[in-house]
Structure 1
Amino acid sequence: MRVVNRSLRWEIEDQMKLHGYNINQLAELSGINTGNLSMALNGISRSMTINQLDALAKVFGKVPGWLYELYTEECISEDKLSRPRLVPYLVRCAEVGRNDCIDAVVSKILDNPKNVQIIFAAAEKLFNKGKHKESERFYEIVVENVKDSFSEMLAMSHYRLFTVTQGTDAEKNWKAVIRFDLFRNRLPEGYRLDALFQLARVCYSLKKWSEVEEYAGELVELSTVLCGDDEVAPKRHPVYYYGKGLLYKGAVLERRGVYDRAKEYVLNYMNLEWPDPLDESGQKEVEQFKIWGKANLYTLEVLSGNKGIINEYADYLAGLNRLNDVVAGLNAIITSANTYEYNVDHVLARFSGSIERFDLFNHDPILSERHLRYRYHKAIYEFRHGRIREGLDETLHCLSLANDMKKYEDGFQCVTLFESYRERASVQQLKMYRSAMGVREEVYLE
């Protein structure tokens, strides 16, 4: 028997003596089969599993990760390693924060390049369990160690990293897009659809309109190509990605002010035609696009200057009762009010409760961008109606959001807007402005 195995088992046997347990009592308390436990402790024919070690730790009142540093030798010997034990071990190390054990394993196994597959398997286990932050480190190890740029495992690792690192930091999001872009077409087809959708979505939040158009076009084309291919199993029905491609194409035209052409895309995804008969999941996706399409037709009408439907649009948004729809709708309404110079105070008052909750959009890139845009246009709206104090408050709110999201162009617009009304700012507003600009109060000179 190896010394380190004796060491692991010695610790367990020491705890048994300390608590006064025999093998049968310990088996009953831990839920481990008596025969299996006996063979594991005696090193006969089978090694101990990580789940068994966890069960014993619980019986002995030990913290999660107990004796993990000694468990490595259950997985790795001088001449071979056990993947069935090593993958669950790495997963548990990540879950309980035993990074020291992960480091020890990685340094031992990566002398053989083929063993990076074990790291990838652990990453996938964590990702599929919803442990995305914990999986990130393993995917990075794969990316650093796979030298074949056309490796499917490498492409999948880049895809996973792209999905888990998305947030509201615009600078970080753009770097993630650049890093992943080269690998999008090297993914298995079932994942390519979702990858293109995620790329289009992030680029939309970054106002990278040319990139959005490119990814959306690929999304429409690929979803059509994969129609009826039973061997491909994307995360959602292909009709969803087809509709999303059309939606983003229309959304870019809307943001560019080309409302008539944008409306053509809206009508297309409101009345989706699909070559194959749709199952229940596909039909649900089609129905959802009808809802989005109706809201976006209202948006385009309002942005085109049709203020006669403002109240009807407000009723529709209230009926949907979804915060993300409200912020999108109010953006259109207040932008139109600024462009065509009319009053929408009654609409803003109606949704005041929802507006107070917009700060909840602090994790999603699209919704955070919508919130920032709302605050900027709301500031302009207040200034136009002579409410300078309120306008400055909204400008400061917008500047704070832009700083948090590292949206420097938006931040510059906020600074320009604030400076236009600076002379009418209160002492407190000026203090908040200096703080947002990173100016220390004691060294600031008027």
Structure 2
Amino acid sequence: METTATIRGEIARYLQNHRMTINRFARISGINSGTLSNILNGNRPMSMHQLDRITEGMGLEEGHFYELYITESIFHTTPDWRRLRPFLVRCAELDKLDCLHKAARMTMENINYASMLFDLAEDLFNEEKYNAAALLYECVAECEKLQYSERLALCQYRLFLIRLGENQEENLQAAVYFEPYIDRLDEMYQLDAYVKLINLNISLQRWDKIETLAKRMGHQAKIHYQQNRDRFKECEYPRKPLIFYILYSYLMQADIYQERGDYDNAFYYVSLYEKPDWVINPSNEESLIMDQFNEWAEANRYMYGLMSGQPDVLYHYVDYVESRKDEIFLALCNIMITANRHHLDVDPILERFKEYLHYRSQQNQLGKVNDQLTVHRYTRFLAELGIYYLNAKQYDRGLSYILDSLKYSIRTKSDNGMLRCMGIFEQFRQYSSKETQKLYNEYIRDVQKLSVYAWSPQV
């Protein structure tokens, strides 16, 4: 029997050191003694199941021999998908991502493996094993990078979704990299991809990009609604009925005009999603969507009126959202922006909704609100609270909120947020306590670390 640095050699050495017969080890590992003998003599390849049983029988950590298995069963042989797939699955289960990546890359010279790697990546993605799935999507994308394929586009879409997180710099890179692939996606995925890109760009405040994406999404959704609406009814994608994407396009365009201070056009787009009478015989889900957009329309009419300089609308807005708990946080964000812009006293409102001043995930009738969007809004909300109290000469309270906003800006690597908070703090530094200045200096060191990292030469 071999005693070299192979799996068979390691097993043989174990048996020798423990003075153990094949029959005894067969009983311990649960593998037939004849099968075990053939494996040790090199007459039979080892399956993943057998490798795991042997590893357990030797009292070793799961996956102990995976590096050797790659060399013996994948690198020095023609990869056999019947052996390779279980190996990749086990690597994903044990989070041995280096082994998974190494084994997957060994198949890349044979493009026939791309479809099988992709199917496995989809399985892992659906099981929420995102890091493992990403490695396989990257391999498939590299294999097909010169092909104008839907599979390549779907790989890039999945990678975009996996890469989204709190880091705004990385989110921006992910968005910029994925966007050219969106038109290559199968049309069933495109509308959801547009929503994901739009929501991310809202958190990045890229309003021109949002406008472009919203118009393209609305155009495609209208075509599908007019020509293919029945085809999509039984499909898993898009996630929502087609009317959602049309109405969401109008909602985004209204918000864009509001951001530009063009309230006439903002109100026009509100009218488009407020009562879509072109929807005939709506299903229960479509009715729910229409009700939600109708609620948003009424809330936004109050909000746009408030922002355009109609302070008498404020308490109508507050009374409207009070019974709609899902809308309170967003309303508070808008109220604080308006209060600072038009010098309004909103102390009673803040007291009335004090339980909503803390960070929490947001929901509406249609599901969970995008995390990046919620964090962005909360970071801005903290800054607006800080400005409000500083203007009221409540300096300790105001600077505390500014530092909270700075902390979230650092956490998400939001350059705009960091610069804004630092500018405000420096403006009111003379009113800060020594403790507050000490905390601010700690945050500044964190900002400097981010800057040093960003400017480090890449080798």
* TM-score, with structure 1 as normaliser: 0.81
Q: 1:77 to 1:9 in 2, by over 3 A?
A: farther
In the TM superposition, what is the alpha-carbon distance from 1:48 to its structure 2 partner?
A: 7.4
Distance 1:428 1:360 in 2: 33
- Spell out, residue by residue over 1:142-198, the C-alpha distance to the aligned partner (whole angstroms, 9 max, x if none): 333323241222111111111111122221111111111111101100111111111
- Equivalence for 1:65: 63
Partner-residue secondary structure (3-state), 2:112: helix
1:372-411 aligned at under 5 Å gives the runs: 372-411=379-418
- Equivalence for 1:299: 303
Partner-residue secondary structure (3-state), 1:357: coil
In the TM superposition, what is the alpha-carbon distance from 1:240 to its structure 2 partner?
A: 1.7
Q: 1:170 to 1:73 in 2, by over 3 A?
A: closer
Point out where structure 1 has 5 or more consecutive residues left out of the alignment.
28-33, 441-446
In the TM superposition, what is the alpha-carbon distance from 1:382 to its structure 2 partner?
A: 0.8
Q: 1:104 to 1:179 in 2, by over 3 A?
A: closer
Give the letter for the 1:267 counterpart. Answer: S
- Equivalence for 2:267: 263
- Equivalence for 2:440: 433
In the TM superposition, what is the alpha-carbon distance from 1:235 to its structure 2 partner?
A: 2.4
- Spell out, residue by residue over 1:251-301, the C-alpha distance to the aligned partner (whole angstroms, 9 max, x if none): 112222222321222232222345664333333322322233333233223
Q: How many residues align?
A: 426
Give the letter for the 1:243 counterpart. Answer: L
- Equivalence for 1:183: 181
Give the letter for the 2:172 counterpart. Answer: W
- Equivalence for 1:337: 339
In the TM superposition, what is the alpha-carbon distance from 1:389 to its structure 2 partner?
A: 1.8
Distance 2:8 2:56 in 1: 21
In the TM superposition, what is the alpha-carbon distance from 1:363 to its structure 2 partner?
A: 8.6
The question of whether the paired residues in 2 share the 8 Å contact of 1:87 and 1:121 is answered with no
1:158-307 aligned at under 5 Å gives the runs: 158-227=156-225, 228=229, 230=231, 233-274=237-278, 277-307=281-311
In the TM superposition, what is the alpha-carbon distance from 1:414 to its structure 2 partner?
A: 1.8
- Equivalence for 2:451: none
The question of whether the paired residues in 1 share the 8 Å contact of 2:14 and 2:58 is answered with no
* TM-score, with structure 2 as normaliser: 0.79
Partner-residue secondary structure (3-state), 2:208: helix
The question of whether the paired residues in 1 share the 8 Å contact of 2:22 and 2:37 is answered with no
1:319 aligns with 2:320: no
The question of whether the paired residues in 1 share the 8 Å contact of 2:163 and 2:171 is answered with yes
Give the letter for the 2:414 counterpart. Answer: K
Distance 2:86 2:57 in 1: 20
- Equivalence for 1:87: 85
Q: Which range moved further: 306-315 or 120-129? A: 306-315
The question of whether the paired residues in 1 share the 8 Å contact of 2:410 and 2:446 is answered with no
- Spell out, residue by residue over 1:15-50, the C-alpha distance to the aligned partner (whole angstroms, 9 max, x if none): 995578499xx59xxxxxx9xx9989978xx98765
Partner-residue secondary structure (3-state), 2:445: coil
Point out where structure 2 has 5 or more consecutive residues left out of the alignment.
364-368, 448-459
Q: Percent identity at matched positions? A: 27
Q: Which range moved further: 349-358 or 191-200? A: 349-358
Distance 2:438 2:258 in 1: 37
In the TM superposition, what is the alpha-carbon distance from 1:353 to its structure 2 partner?
A: 1.9
Distance 1:255 1:54 in 2: 59
Q: 1:20 to 1:156 in 2, by over 3 A?
A: closer
Q: Which range moved further: 49-58 or 418-427? A: 49-58
Distance 2:395 2:432 in 1: 8
Distance 1:377 1:137 in 2: 41
- Equivalence for 1:145: 143
Distance 2:219 2:418 in 1: 37
Distance 2:129 2:72 in 1: 25
The question of whether the paired residues in 2 share the 8 Å contact of 1:305 and 1:340 is answered with yes
